[in-house]
Structure formats: C-alpha cells, structure tokens
Amino acid sequence: MISPSRYIDVVPMGDVGEQDLQDLAVSIKEQFGLRVKVSRNQGFPHYAFDPARRQYNSNLILKKLVDNALPAALKVLGVSSVDLFNPIFSFVVGEAQFGGRCAVISTYRLRGKPSNQSRLGCNTLAIRMEKEAIHELGHTFGLRHCADPSCVMHYSVGTELTDCKFAFFCPACRDVMLWHLGTDLFLKG
C-alpha cells in the first residue's frame, strides 16, 4: 500500500548519521507502506535546551515539528542526537503525539555502552533507531503500548528491553495500525 501523494517526513536535527537515516527510511517504508522523505537537517534544537537539566525538552521539539510540518506530510518524525526529557520523565528516548502527526526520537541513549554492541556485525544503533521510530510513529497512528514483549509497541524502559523486542507489529497491533493508516489516508487525502 504505497500512497502516491502522502509520505512520512524524517527530519534530522543535529548530529545524525546519513546512512542511519537512509536505513531508517527504508525500514519505515516497509512497515507503513508509505513513501519516506528525508528532509534537510534542521540543526540542533537549541530552542528546547533546558540549562537547569542540561537536556532538551521533547514537548518543545514536538511543537516545532507540528508548526513546521508540510501539508503533504502525513506524519513527521524528528531524529536527534540530544538527550531528551519531558516534564514527567527524567529522560525519554522518543515521544509522539498520540493520534497526531509528529513524533521525535533521540539516538543519545540508544547508543548504550560500547560493550553492548552486537556480536553479529549488525549496527546496534541503527536497529534501536528503527524500533523506536516505528514505535513512536505507531503512537501517531493511535496505537497504545502492547502487552506482547516481542511487539514493537511494547513499552521499553531501557535499551535492554528495546533489544528484546522486534521491529515489527504483532498481528493485533498491525491490524489496528492498518485501520488507522487507512482512515488517515481517507480523511486527509
């Protein structure tokens, strides 16, 4: 299901690897069946920096993504390398507007410890980015956290739990995501 006119806009913000973004775009396209466009790098989100916490407020980043979203973009995913927080959590790896248009993920805590790198030659950061991006975009399609520990929509507090789940929706979440995707495409053209 590839919509010719609607797409998911991936917006890099700051120090994010080009190859990781291209790999992420391929994964998102496979999971959601939509075109994916990687936009021009927006630079570090200095406007969201909180000097007291020495972190970046994900709510402010989401607001900026919403304000700058192009009309043809069905969903917008910000990708940054800075340490994110929101007012109720000491840190977040990602955040999304539930049922909305925008989400953001950060690679800051996805890098983990160097000793935790995959032994199979896979890029652990790229795999974790894929899972977090699909998870947060799932929230924009109205998906809640899933009880299935292997589903990409399962809640994961740290990288260990992120590593345990797959980058795919369980059958129940996939059905709900496809229903919401169809509804979004029908209502928004």
Active site residues: 136
- Please state, in angstroms and rounded to a whole number, the distance separating the CA atoms of residues 90 and 55: 9
Residues 6+ apart with CB under 8 A from 7: 34, 35, 36, 37, 72, 73, 74
Task: Match 């929230």 to its residue by tokens.
Answer: 139
> How far from chain centre, in Å, is Cα 23?
13
Which two three-digit tokens encode residue 20?
């990781």
